[in-house]
Structure 1
Amino acid sequence: MDMPVNVPVDDPNADTEWNDILRKHGIIPEKQPDPEPIIQEALLEAVKKAHENRLEDKDLDELHDLEDEEDEAFLEIYRRKRLAELASLQKKSLYGQVFPLQKPDYARDVTEESSKAYVLVNLTSSLGTNVESRVLSNIWRQAARKFGDIKFCEMRADLCIEGYPEKNTPTILVYKDGDIKRQVVTLAQLSGVRTSLEDLERLLVEVGALTENDMRLKGKEDNEDEMQNDQDNDDDDDWD
């Protein structure tokens, strides 16, 4: 009967000829590869990708400003990419304004339309004295112009739902594929009376109406004039 033999091993991880023989015969396990080179390679690859994608979030104006710093051929690749994205967005921009709703047309203009695009409904104050409602109506117009591939609608809450509580206005309803995907009651879930277009944009990303890398979210647009114009136009709004 063969008796087990105790093979002396000083350090099973050492790179010695003796350990190579023991590994060959399965007496000690293969030595695990050193993780350091793998880690270093991964870090170098990450740095390389970050450098290659350094222009990924730049719009056309920002690319123009980099002409003295970047290779012209490299910039041209991103210019063409941005122009293609703009052309695609313009093709999808079917709306571009806030659509007032009438109850008899609600199913057609909202529920059925949501099979083609995201449809957002703003149920506004019935009394016209709700500050949050006025804030959202201003933002609604900005968003409708900026995101023409999304249909923004507006309707007085009590004309949409009889007896709808004034304290629940404004209410945002997000429709897609015939269903309500999100309901936001008042602006408390956003930033209250300080709610901005950026707050609404974050909501649009959350519900899937926009992607995080949508180039329109990265533009350095100045909306102050638009906001002022919307404020002036508020005086002409008539919900009667």
Structure 2
Amino acid sequence: MSGQEDTEWNDVLRAKGILPPKEITVTEDELNALVDQSVVDYHEKKLANASLDELDELEDDEDDRVLEMYRRKRVLEMQEAASRRRFGEVIQISKPDFVREVTEASKDVWVVVHLFKDGIPACRLINAILATLAPKHAETKFLKIVGDQCIPGYPDRNMPTLVVYGHGEMKFQLVGIQSFPGGQGCRVQDLEQLLKLRGVIEGRAGAGATGGKEDDDEEDAHAPRYNVRRAEKDEDSDSDWD
């Protein structure tokens, strides 16, 4: 019987319990690797969900190098979350602020601007809706500006107007309350759904503002066809928005 046949026969006998199990030899390197993996698994389970304060409390008990790794990881996660939530409220601006706060800012994030006028009920409605959406979608910049201060002579009939910027340029507008989803009965969820479908809110902030034209075309193809158009102006000039 050859050596290979003898080995196979012995394996059969061991499988039937006739021969004792073959002795397993583990090298020192293999043993060290198993130990290292056990340590990693232990730390992963114990530290993966620990807060920064909990990591500090464990400092005396855990390996400093491992603790520092998890501390850096947690700090980066917190910084990333904070960077996505830069705003959180509706800020009122004036015309001199427009280029900086809207046009320039929209190169990095989506910017939603409400042109309003005090005393118009529909403007109060949209201001209230935006005040609810802003903290919920703090990665998107929400602003408001008095309409005829932004554009001299801007007619009351056009307000409220919602202007949405991305890529450093205007993407679409809702002009007059009749253009908003639900019209006079517009609700928070109605406007939220529109902005979500256009990619302006819900974790996609900045994606449309930094992506390519193909992204815009795809979004437009799936966007609801509300009454989105240019605002009526006494002077037919795009420069009013620059």
Query: TM-score, normalising length from structure 2?
Result: 0.49
Which structure's residues are more often helix, by fraction? 2
